[in-house]
Amino acid sequence: MMRVGEIAVGRSGDKGEKLDLTLVALNAENYAWLEKRLTASVAQAAIARVMPGEVTRYEVPGLFALKFVIEGALPGGVYATLHAGLHWQKAAIWVLLDLEID
């Protein structure tokens, strides 16, 4: 078992109703490990506990990066949220960083 956040850094973003999560692995070996294991469906299962939406994964091997874009994750956009205050989604990357994978 390895926590994703031990081998990658990450950041959350958004646009409209979409959530946009980026992970950048520390090196090529870490990237290969993540690329193989952190599939769209693994990410989907983790993210579904927090928000709705279909997950699409994009790979950028040259930057050791994976992106996960979740359609409809922020219904009505960030200002329509029922979370405490605004912009809870800035912390959403920890759903992936705290994921433990075999």
CB of 48 to another protein, least distance (A): 9
Q: Which two tokens stand for residue 82?
A: 């029922």
Contact with another protein (CB under 8 A): which of 18, 29, 33, 39?
A: 18
Question: Distance (Å, rounded) from C-alpha 101 to C-alpha 8?
Answer: 13
Please give the residues from 50 up to 79 whose contact with another protein meets the rule CB under 8 A: 50-51, 58, 60, 62-65, 67, 69, 76-79
Q: How far apart are CA 83 and CA 17, in angstroms?
A: 15
Binding of another protein by 100 (CB under 8 A) = no
Which amino acid belongs to residue 101? I
Rg, the chain, Cα only: 13
The Cβ of residue 36 has, within 10 Å, a number of other Cβ atoms equal to 9
Interface ranges with another protein (CB under 8 A)? 5-11, 13-16, 18, 20, 22, 24, 26, 46-47, 49-51, 58, 60, 62-65, 67, 69, 76-86, 88, 90-92, 94-95, 98
